[in-house]
A and B are shown apart, each in its own frame.
Chain A
Amino acid sequence: MKREYIITVFSENHIGLLNRITIVFTRRKINIESLTVSESAIPGVYKFAIVINTTEEQTQKVVGQIDKLVDVLKAFYHTNEEMIYQELALYKVSAEALFESDQIEKIVRQSGARILEITKEYIVIEKTGHTDETQALFHELNQFNVTQFIRSGRVAITRDPIERLSEFLRERDAFLEQLD
């Protein structure tokens, strides 16, 4: 059965690694729904959150292929339920619409969004949430004509009490120390 999986990849910060990772998906013709990269809580270690829609079997194989890349420390996969995740969306609508009625203000307040900037010509609204929430806000605001819209990749952390990578790094450090 196909469903959404969030793949988390921990890696060294090396040029070209993003390409190496995405090749694993390209080869199997799996579309990446969203992708976010940033430094993790561990200094020098980078964290990718990659969302794909496929079967668990396919996901396991992809994770195996990513995990064995030389510059990758560890890769994991989770279902949405196993993770806490958010996306961020920005919307631009004309300032006119804001001043003509209190509708936009209401929508913003009710949806837990906030206004980032107001100019004479436009306003920019920000909303964090799941895809369906940011999409719902888009539809509501679009009655006033959204002139620009962008949604970020997913940021996600596990519900585990610890970062599973730390365990891996501890074992790895102990092993590498043995070598010295």
Chain B
Amino acid sequence: MKDELLKQMISKAKGTQPAVQSIQQKQSDMTTKRITGSEAVIRSLLKEGVDTIFGYPGGAIMPIYNALYDHDKHVTHILTRHEQGAVHAAEGYARVTGKAGVCFATSGPGATNLITGIADAMIDSIPLVCITGQVTSPLLGTDAFQESDVVGISMPVTKWNYQVTSAEEIPEAIAQAFYIAQTGRPGPVLLDITKDAQFGELDFQYKKCRKIRSYVPETPVDPHQVKKAAGLIDKAKKPFILFGHGVILSNAENELKEFIEKTGIPAAWTLLGLSAFPTVHPLNVGMLGMHGNYGPNLLTNEADLIIAIGMRFDDRVTGKVSEYAKKAKIIHIEIDPAEVNKIVKADVPIIGDAKKALKMLANNVKKNSHSEWLEKFRECDRIEFEKVISKDIYPKKDGLTMGEVVRIASEKTGNDAILVTDVGQQQMIASRYFRFSQSKSCVTSGGLGTMGFGLPASMGAQIGAPNRTVIAMIGDGGFQMTIQELGTIAQNKLPVKIIILNNNFLGMVRQWQELFFDKRYSFTELHNPDFIMIGKGFGIEGHKVEKRENLEAGIQKMIDHKGPYLLEVVVEKEDNVFPMVPSGASVSDVLLEP
């Protein structure tokens, strides 16, 4: 309908007759056939190239599932055990493929169960198209059985949402949903389709959406801003590159590498920027953030120029903002204008797509090197290695550490696996010590910090990248939040390698209780079930490792196993994650030990 309006406006402006437009329309490649709304949903998804749907049926979405029944050769549906599992799986799929993840849920509780995952996708800019069934339109607003105002509920956590109440609207609504989810700064979109719209009939014709008048996905990069930025970069003595998810989302990995190599500037990744650049690259100085590396945190406040690319200065990255990078000028490359100056004021904002901006920037800067400045990072690395890393990944004490498990898992997979994490200590340790050689290899819940994300996300990642090894690092707490998805993994024989790092604690909360709440361990100790027996109950092989001498062989056994595998590693109960920028402290006050 919006397109119609747009066409009318354009034809008015041009003084052309609407008749000319309609002839053009008829000439374009469109086939017409009378089908049901449900059938139109599936056909529209196929037209968008959807190969996998994660979902859970129920009353209000049954017509769509009925239509899906005839298309099992064209599209795979993964029946999860809970709608939250479906939406996190769709996120995992989107993160490794770059395509929108698709999920189905029924009205009411089905739809509300999606909300956590949608919020997670919103804050981490993950493209999702969620389709929910809704009660038949005459019943809207009557507190009908399984009715909830999902459009209202999901509004603050979707990039866009829309309620479809007639079959005719379906193709265009789906086309717009995919366009909005996948362009500009990606995000989750929800379509709520009433049951009568699913049953209704329409003349089906599908046209991909390429424009919406009110929606500007990206603005062209301003060459003047690029020149200004290049000037600052060429002059800087201590420049520092920070890059995030935006690099992966715009497929700018090569451009980033070229830019970094030409300028010789040390570069650090955010949690969501992990894997966008090879871990072992000489100019990769590690991770930013509360539990990031020592150098990147400490030296942020010494840098004279910050070049932030596709990242949004999250509070976990900046620490105390009023003391953040005070000696530095800031260049901010960002596709979403609302992110510029939101937290950190940019001296030179470059609004637009990271790939295009980096290409232009690389053409405008001089070849350079900053070996002395880089050496400062390496000095920090040596300090961090001695005080933290060596104890984490090559421990001498009796108890197993999460760090050594991560190191061995990474090594044994040739540093080329996809890492999926849950949230908490294992997430931070895995992000610090897992090594990456190709992009789109890390799936983690950053902004929202959603416990229970790991297991279902690993299913989506495995389906999105069927030929790669997927390692899911999950704590004993988060594992039990979505443990039911073991059923989905078993039913679909997804060869995910699940490592439970079990410290019988909600480890990160316990760490904070130890450091900031006088060791008052209020409700953080867990009495856990026999995870291996649970796995076996689902038909998933596994075993438990409690001693160092069994660790390497245990991980090897897991990797060599053909199907899904559950490895439980009992780790030290009260280990802490360091370095740490305490909440509210400046990044340069990063602590290496308590």
Using a CB–CB distance below 8 Å, which chain A residues touch chain B? 11-12, 15-16, 19-20, 23, 27, 43-44, 60-61, 64-65, 67-68, 70-73, 172-173, 176-177, 179
What 1/0 mask marks residues of chain B from 135 to 152 whose CB sits below 8 Å from any chain A CB?
A: 000000000000000011
CA–CA, A132 to B338, complex, Å? 35
Decide: A61 and B213 in contact? CB cutoff 8 A: no
Using a CB–CB distance below 8 Å, which chain B residues touch chain A? 2, 5-6, 9-10, 13, 151-152, 155-156, 159-161, 163, 180, 210-216, 336-338, 341-342
Q: Which residues of B contact A12 (CB under 8 A)?
A: 2, 5, 213-214
Decide: B215 and A70 in contact? CB cutoff 8 A: yes
Q: Which residues of B contact A15 (CB under 8 A)?
A: 163
Decide: A176 and B342 in contact? CB cutoff 8 A: no
Extra contacts besides A16-B155, A19-B152, A70-B212 (16): CB < 8 Å = A12-B2, A16-B152, A16-B163, A20-B155, A23-B155, A43-B9, A64-B337, A64-B338, A70-B159, A70-B160, A71-B215, A73-B213, A73-B214, A172-B213, A173-B13, A179-B211
**24 pairs, CB–CB < 8 Å, chain A vs chain B:** A11-B214, A12-B2, A12-B5, A12-B213, A15-B163, A16-B163, A19-B155, A20-B155, A23-B155, A23-B156, A43-B9, A60-B341, A61-B338, A61-B341, A61-B342, A65-B338, A68-B337, A70-B180, A71-B215, A73-B214, A172-B216, A173-B13, A176-B10, A176-B213
CA–CA, A65 to B151, complex, Å? 19
- The contact of A177 among B10, B152, B216, B338, by CB within 8 Å, is B10
The smallest C-beta distance from B558 to any residue of chain A, in angstroms, reads: 44
Decide: A176 and B211 in contact? CB cutoff 8 A: yes
Which residue of chain B has the shortest Cβ distance to A42 in the bound complex?
Answer: B9
CA–CA, A16 to B5, complex, Å? 19
Decide: A179 and B155 in contact? CB cutoff 8 A: no
Which residue of chain A has the shortest Cβ distance to B342 in the bound complex?
Answer: A61
CA–CA, A27 to B156, complex, Å? 9
- The contact of A16 among B9, B151, B337, by CB within 8 Å, is B151
CA–CA, A73 to B160, complex, Å? 14
The smallest C-beta distance from B222 to any residue of chain A, in angstroms, reads: 14
Decide: A179 and B210 in contact? CB cutoff 8 A: yes
Q: Which residues of A contact B216 (CB under 8 A)?
A: 172
Q: Which residues of B contact A70 (CB under 8 A)?
A: 159-160, 180, 212, 214-215
Q: Which residues of A contact B180 (CB under 8 A)?
A: 70
CA–CA, A25 to B6, complex, Å? 29
Q: Which residues of A contact B215 (CB under 8 A)?
A: 70-71
The smallest C-beta distance from B201 to any residue of chain A, in angstroms, reads: 24
Which residue of chain A has the shortest Cβ distance to B336 in the bound complex?
Answer: A68
Q: Which residues of B contact A179 (CB under 8 A)?
A: 210-211
The smallest C-beta distance from A29 to any residue of chain B, in angstroms, reads: 14
The smallest C-beta distance from B339 to any residue of chain A, in angstroms, reads: 8
- Listed residue (B13, B163, B214) with the most chain A CB atoms within 10 angstroms of its CB: B214
Decide: B338 and A68 in contact? CB cutoff 8 A: yes
Decide: A67 and B213 in contact? CB cutoff 8 A: no
Which residue of chain B has the shortest Cβ distance to A15 in the bound complex?
Answer: B163
Decide: B338 and A176 in contact? CB cutoff 8 A: no
Decide: B336 and A176 in contact? CB cutoff 8 A: no
Which residue of chain B has the shortest Cβ distance to A19 in the bound complex?
Answer: B155
The smallest C-beta distance from A169 to any residue of chain B, in angstroms, reads: 8
Which residue of chain A has the shortest Cβ distance to B13 in the bound complex?
Answer: A173
Q: Which residues of A contact B337 (CB under 8 A)?
A: 64, 67-68
- The contact of A44 among B5, B210, B212, B341, by CB within 8 Å, is B5
The smallest C-beta distance from A8 to any residue of chain B, in angstroms, reads: 15
CA–CA, A73 to B2, complex, Å? 13
CA–CA, A15 to B140, complex, Å? 14
Q: Which residues of B contact A64 (CB under 8 A)?
A: 337-338, 342
Decide: A72 and B214 in contact? CB cutoff 8 A: yes
Across the A-B interface, the 10 shortest Cβ-Cβ residue pairs? A64-B338, A70-B160, A73-B214, A70-B215, A23-B156, A176-B211, A68-B338, A12-B214, A65-B338, A71-B214
Q: Which residues of A contact B212 (CB under 8 A)?
A: 70
Decide: B9 and A44 in contact? CB cutoff 8 A: yes
Which residue of chain B has the shortest Cβ distance to A27 in the bound complex?
Answer: B156
CA–CA, A177 to B21, complex, Å? 13
Q: Which residues of B contact A73 (CB under 8 A)?
A: 213-214
Given A70-B212, A70-B215, A73-B213, check contact A173 B10 (CB 8 Å): yes
Q: Which residues of A contact B213 (CB under 8 A)?
A: 12, 73, 172, 176
CA–CA, A177 to B345, complex, Å? 35
Which residue of chain A has the shortest Cβ distance to B5 in the bound complex?
Answer: A44
- Listed residue (A27, A68, A72, A179) with the most chain B CB atoms within 10 angstroms of its CB: A68
Q: Which residues of B contact A43 (CB under 8 A)?
A: 9
CA–CA, A168 to B212, complex, Å? 14
The smallest C-beta distance from A74 to any residue of chain B, in angstroms, reads: 8
Which residue of chain B has the shortest Cβ distance to A171 in the bound complex?
Answer: B216
CA–CA, A127 to B86, complex, Å? 57
The smallest C-beta distance from B469 to any residue of chain A, in angstroms, reads: 38
Q: Which residues of A contact B151 (CB under 8 A)?
A: 16
Which residue of chain A has the shortest Cβ distance to B211 in the bound complex?
Answer: A176
The smallest C-beta distance from A49 to any residue of chain B, in angstroms, reads: 18
Q: Which residues of A contact B214 (CB under 8 A)?
A: 11-12, 70-73
CA–CA, A173 to B5, complex, Å? 12
Q: Which residues of A contact B2 (CB under 8 A)?
A: 12
CA–CA, A68 to B214, complex, Å? 9
Q: Which residues of A contact B13 (CB under 8 A)?
A: 173
The smallest C-beta distance from B41 to any residue of chain A, in angstroms, reads: 21
Q: Which residues of A contact B160 (CB under 8 A)?
A: 70-71
The smallest C-beta distance from A101 to any residue of chain B, in angstroms, reads: 51
The smallest C-beta distance from B344 to any residue of chain A, in angstroms, reads: 13
The smallest C-beta distance from A164 to any residue of chain B, in angstroms, reads: 15
Which residue of chain B has the shortest Cβ distance to A11 in the bound complex?
Answer: B214
Q: Which residues of B contact A23 (CB under 8 A)?
A: 155-156
Given A16-B151, A19-B155, A23-B156, check contact A173 B9 (CB 8 Å): yes
Q: Which residues of A contact B10 (CB under 8 A)?
A: 173, 176-177
CA–CA, A23 to B211, complex, Å? 25
CA–CA, A177 to B163, complex, Å? 29
Q: Which residues of B contact A172 (CB under 8 A)?
A: 213, 216
CA–CA, A72 to B212, complex, Å? 11
The smallest C-beta distance from A87 to any residue of chain B, in angstroms, reads: 28
Q: Which residues of B contact A65 (CB under 8 A)?
A: 338
CA–CA, A176 to B210, complex, Å? 9
